[in-house]
Structure 1
Amino acid sequence: MSSSSVDNPSPQQRKARQQWLDALAAPARTQQRLAAALACLSGIGLIAQAGAIAWLIQQVLVEGAGLQACWPVLLALAAILALRALLSTAATAAAGRVADAAKLGLRQRIYRSLQGNGPLWLRGQRSGELGELMLAHGDAVEGYFSGFQPVRSEMVVVPLAIAVAVASVNWVVALILLFTGPLVPVFMMLVGWGAEAASRGQLSEMARLGGHFADRIKGLGLLRVYGRGQAELERVGQASEQLRERSMRVLRIAFLSSTTLEFFASVSVAMVALYFGLSYLGLMELGPGLPSLGIGMFCLLLAPEFYAPLRKLAAHYHDRANALAAVAEIERLLGSLPAADAGNAPAEAVGPVLAQTEFGMAAALDAQQLSLRPLGAPADVVSDFSLQLQPGERVALVGPSGSGKSTVLEALAGWLPPRQGRLQWAPGLRVVHASQRPYLFHGSIADNLRLGEPTASAARLQQAARAGQVMRFAAQLPQGLDTLVGERGLGLSGGEARRVGLARALLMEADVLLLDEPTAFLDAETEADLLQALNVHARGRSVVVATHSPAVMAWADRVITLPARPQQREDQA
């Protein structure tokens, strides 16, 4: 998604974003209709309320009626007020449920899209920005569903009902309302375009600031070691100042538009008051004769309420601008707007589900003439790769560094879609991938192992740790598997972190193991022990292992050699 299409969307893109936004509340469509209906009924109740008040004023001040004659209308007025309060409360509650459903739907779509893009795509993203998608951008749509949408329905129904009620007693006032009313939405639309652009800039700045701050928190240790703490504090301060300026820009537009809209509404109400004032003074004779005091009060009470839904819509129009700005940012960061069923891709190490084939397939895997290109690479690194993996078979992928062994494993894991060729898995297989650079989180070694199987018992955890040769170094630590490690495995060597990732994969009891250089950096004795452990653990399971080790090649049932790429052959020559 290009930045120009995000900043200057075409009418089709605007319509698509609006439809996508509205579809978030599809599970709560009944509550959405209920909120709109209750808001409209509460607004229509204003007509009865104004009629009761005007009747009381006419009877008491003009007709001289006593309190006894007014009791029924007073009770009716109290009932109307109570009913309108109940309707407003129920409408707010229903709109809140709609907003909650929309926020949940938004976050589910984003989460599924992140999963569907896969680990390779996620490696190139800033986690802070992606976190803002789930937080600030999710909150940005709340006001749209809880405020803007109910008021939008109210704006259509209530002013029209009020205009009809006023026209039944005085057509001049009705004409004043109908001619001045459109000024509010027209100006609101003009302001809304600027508000949406300002809101989009604010959300973008929030996402960048969140990503910047999260990245600095992750690297706080290194920043302190190299004495960059104060410099980074100044950069965070500068980013915060930019966010403050963008937030103030949004607030300026909001306050300016609200003030202008209030001005138009006040002038319109003043025109109605001026008409009645001049009529009662005998300076104007327009309409069906001199209106009574009750009719004048009825029209004056309803005149502000005619513009009230328009003013409320103007206030909530910024919620719509914020929501559309959030949608534009989601489209920019994810590349496209995620669909409701976007991606059922597996978690960190499990896959693929997108390439299953029919039942009765003899091979566990059938890959035919695959062409593979890593993300961001200018050309394919693997061409015409084929493999039929039988159940229980062990296959070693060998070749010079850069020949594409890791790329093949990533494609087999479902992380990297082939550019050409066919990749099919037998249905129902569970596939696990142990990469060269497993991600370890801040926590104990045992916590990182349990990411593979959270419900694993202590005995299974120990068994997997022994099979992955983790106990060789963990047994020497004061707290064993309960020893804490830092983010990204801080505190462990590269080889130790790789063994933790391997043990985590073994703990998952998958049908197919995809292992990337599992014996790298191991001495001959440890390598032999690891292969012996794999003999036991991988019995009945298929294994594809990328390696340079002669011992692993001898351990495998079959060896597939990937040729060097043309550039590599030139360098070697």
Structure 2
Amino acid sequence: MDQSLAAEPLPQPSDIRARRLRRLDALASPVRGRLRAAGACAVLAGWLLVAQAALIALAVQRVLVEGGDPAAQWPALTALAAIGAARALLGWGARELADEAATRIRSELRTVLPRRMFAAGVPWIRGQRSGGLSELAATHVDALEGYFTGYLPARAEVLAVPALMLAAAFSVDVVVGLVLLLTMPLIPFFMMLVGWGAEAASRRQLRALARMGGHFADRLRGLGLIRLYGRGEAELEGIGAAAEALRVRTLKVLRLAFLSSAVLEFFASVSVAVIALYLGLSYLGMIELRTAPLTLGTGLFCLLLAPEFFAPMRKLAAHYHDRAGALAALEEIDTALGAQAASSAASSSRFDGDGTAMADPQARGRPRSRGEHRAGPGMRANRADTGGRGLTPAVVLRGVALRHAGSDRDVLVGFDLDIPPGGSLALVGPSGCGKSTLLEALAGWLSPAAGTLRIEPAARIAYAPQRPHLFHGSIADNLRLAKPEAGDAELRAAAEAAQVMRFAAHLPAGLDTVIGERGFGLSGGEARRVALARVYLRDAGLLLLDEPTAFLDPDTEAALLEALASYARGRTLILATHSAAAARIADRSLVMPAAHEPPR
């Protein structure tokens, strides 16, 4: 073990919490001005409460004690109405500014999160539940909103408003000021204790929500299979159990939030009651702690000020669980994406929807030697060249072992392979011998469990998997995933070469015909041809094709292979196939071994 790492102390929970709070504040840096303006509006509205209470006490003193004419108090009443309107306007402004800031933060975070997910690499993405990933950008990001719209303005209010009210209380009566001063520290202390429990409960609630989202999304995708096997009732019971667990955890969060408010209300009520008791006994002459008599206006001012002194703390208590929820959400996002650096090192490239490799060297967190993909802690990922096809690579495998995630055995063991630049190889053999697995490893979808895999020099990779993914939209839109700027003529040329036009010409709108998700409306062979056309548009140096001619009639297969052989000249080609005709276009064929057997 590295001694520098061994000597480094593990972060304590308080350090982790402080670091996450700093990260929350860092998220607010683009909208810092709006948040500060929102806090200033909230503080000004709180300060105006002191003037409002003073005007009310003054009017009551003049009319009820001094016998003044009520009609003569219109200046004070006008000022009171103006202060009320100003406070309402400031409250509205604070809310609007905070909402605008939170909306921008959430929008930018939802832009960054998918980039981080893609940067984590295909092996990491394939190991996640899509429902759980969608929760990161939906529920978890939404959980941060309350921190910026509620907690931050309330915190600014707590820091500035009670101090002014405390000074005002001391200026009119020392005893009232002392009561407020002595009861104030108890509230943050108990709020902190309750807040720790609220943060833990929020974390459990968010995890339950993510699990339920993933469970439900997975079941929706397999709904047809569930019905086919008669598992509908059992799956409904499973979803019901997940929903019940989420309900229980949500109620625990709410219970702790109410407990925090109850603690505050208890101490605030005790403080106000003590002040009211002191004022009442002073007016009855039972307590004489002042050198001068206590006027009615002074007592009323103190009674009006006492509840408002705790109002910012009430607001902070109401939003304290938002802080706990934001910290828990940020922890869950960090946990989900925590393996990003390692996964990025295990990935060979970014990819688009059908698996066509897409280079993104800017996603790399540190410099890597180009073209190397080695198993073990020091694994380095091959990165595709973004500057066009350019270089034609050689492929070298030494002692490679491949194993799918969750499997207890290797598909390939001790596998060696050499393909020169511009060479072509057909992988043949029975189903299950590892042809598709090897192509996935070359595409960066799967990390070797052992051995070395090198693509030298690094080049752009195009991969057409056995089950290509087609999105809802037109065929042309699906083709443009590989090259968004491609013109109609370029699309048609690629479609002609991949024999897509053989069926697209008979569709209602040709290449503009809309298909459903996962290629609904096309046969398996037609979907493969669309994926192959995307490979042609990709213009890559390394072509990885998995069963490109499956489900095709002999004439279509012959035309497709002729176009493929022409296109592959000057490129490195590896294709997995059961077709003897497809295997003949390669320089050589390799019979893939069964597990634990050497290749032939």
Q: Classify the secondary structure of the residue corresponding to 2:462.
A: strand
Corresponding position of 2:425: 396
1:196, 1:321 within 8 Å by CA — same for their partners in 2?
A: yes
- Which amino acid is the alignment partner of residue 122 of structure 2? P
Aligned-residue identity in percent: 52
Corresponding position of 2:380: none
The offset of 1:417, in angstroms, is: 7.4
1:207 pairs, out of 205, 210, 214, with: 210
The offset of 1:264, in angstroms, is: 1.5
Q: Report matched runs for 1:68-467 at 5 Å.
A: 69-335=72-338, 345=350, 347-348=352-353, 349-354=356-361, 355=383, 363=391, 365=393, 376=405, 389=421, 393=422, 395-396=424-425, 398=427, 413=443, 431-441=461-471, 448-453=478-483, 460-467=490-497
Q: Classify the secondary structure of the residue corresponding to 1:432.
A: strand
Q: Classify the secondary structure of the residue corresponding to 1:518.
A: coil
The offset of 1:310, in angstroms, is: 0.6
Q: Does 482-491 or 54-63 show the bigger shift? A: 482-491
- Which amino acid is the alignment partner of residue 470 of structure 1? V
Corresponding position of 1:5: none
CA distance in 1, matches of 2:108, 2:388: 37
CA distance in 2, matches of 1:360, 1:224: 47
Q: Residues 544 and 382 of structure 1: is their aligned pair in 2 closer, same or farther, counting only changes over 3 Å?
A: farther
1:381, 1:403 within 8 Å by CA — same for their partners in 2?
A: no
The offset of 1:192, in angstroms, is: 1.2
Corresponding position of 1:470: 500
The offset of 1:248, in angstroms, is: 2.0
The offset of 1:375, in angstroms, is: 6.7
1:432, 1:513 within 8 Å by CA — same for their partners in 2?
A: yes
Q: Classify the secondary structure of the residue corresponding to 1:131.
A: helix
1:352, 1:413 within 8 Å by CA — same for their partners in 2?
A: no
2:358, 2:384 within 8 Å by CA — same for their partners in 1?
A: no
Structure 1: runs of 5+ lacking an equivalent: 1-7
The offset of 1:76, in angstroms, is: 2.2
1:25, 1:105 within 8 Å by CA — same for their partners in 2?
A: no
Does the alignment pair 1:568 with 2:571?
no
CA distance in 1, matches of 2:250, 2:460: 48
Corresponding position of 1:4: none
Q: Residues 275 and 488 of structure 1: is their aligned pair in 2 closer, same or farther, counting only changes over 3 Å?
A: same
CA distance in 2, matches of 1:375, 1:164: 69
Q: Does 52-61 or 528-537 show the bigger shift? A: 528-537
The offset of 1:221, in angstroms, is: 1.5
CA distance in 1, matches of 2:567, 2:313: 69
- Which amino acid is the alignment partner of residue 16 of structure 2? Q
2:28, 2:105 within 8 Å by CA — same for their partners in 1?
A: yes
2:494, 2:534 within 8 Å by CA — same for their partners in 1?
A: yes
Q: Residues 508 and 146 of structure 1: is their aligned pair in 2 closer, same or farther, counting only changes over 3 Å?
A: same
CA distance in 2, matches of 1:188, 1:424: 60
Q: Residues 374 and 550 of structure 1: is their aligned pair in 2 closer, same or farther, counting only changes over 3 Å?
A: same
- Which amino acid is the alignment partner of residue 465 of structure 2? S
CA distance in 2, matches of 1:465, 1:155: 66
CA distance in 2, matches of 1:112, 1:74: 58
Q: Residues 534 and 369 of structure 1: is their aligned pair in 2 closer, same or farther, counting only changes over 3 Å?
A: closer
TM superposition score normalised by structure 1: 0.83
The C-alpha deviation readout for 1:289-341, integer Å capped at 9, x for no partner, is: 33222221222111111101111101101111111221222233333589xxx
The C-alpha deviation readout for 1:15-73, integer Å capped at 9, x for no partner, is: 23222233222211111111112211111111111122222222222222334643332
Q: Cα RMSD (Å) of the superposition?
A: 4.0
CA distance in 1, matches of 2:391, 2:484: 30
- Which amino acid is the alignment partner of residue 253 of structure 2? V
The offset of 1:230, in angstroms, is: 2.6
CA distance in 2, matches of 1:161, 1:544: 76
Q: Residues 490 and 313 of structure 1: is their aligned pair in 2 closer, same or farther, counting only changes over 3 Å?
A: same
Does the alignment pair 1:544 with 2:573?
yes
1:346, 1:353 within 8 Å by CA — same for their partners in 2?
A: no
Does the alignment pair 1:506 with 2:536?
yes
2:357, 2:443 within 8 Å by CA — same for their partners in 1?
A: yes
Q: Does 74-83 or 467-476 show the bigger shift? A: 467-476
1:55, 1:294 within 8 Å by CA — same for their partners in 2?
A: yes
- Which amino acid is the alignment partner of residue 575 of structure 2? A
CA distance in 2, matches of 1:359, 1:441: 27
1:453, 1:507 within 8 Å by CA — same for their partners in 2?
A: yes
CA distance in 2, matches of 1:176, 1:79: 31
The offset of 1:513, in angstroms, is: 4.2
Q: Does 259-268 or 482-491 show the bigger shift? A: 482-491
The C-alpha deviation readout for 1:407-435, integer Å capped at 9, x for no partner, is: 67556656567897876767xx7653322
Q: Does 219-228 or 360-369 show the bigger shift? A: 360-369
CA distance in 1, matches of 2:446, 2:108: 27
TM superposition score normalised by structure 2: 0.79
The offset of 1:225, in angstroms, is: 2.0
The offset of 1:364, in angstroms, is: 5.1
Corresponding position of 1:57: 60
Q: Classify the secondary structure of the residue corresponding to 1:546.
A: strand
Q: Does 19-28 or 367-376 show the bigger shift? A: 367-376
The C-alpha deviation readout for 1:242-285, integer Å capped at 9, x for no partner, is: 22222222222222332332122111111111111111111111
Q: Residues 270 and 210 of structure 1: is their aligned pair in 2 closer, same or farther, counting only changes over 3 Å?
A: same
- Which amino acid is the alignment partner of residue 143 of structure 1? G
Corresponding position of 2:364: none
The offset of 1:534, in angstroms, is: 2.8
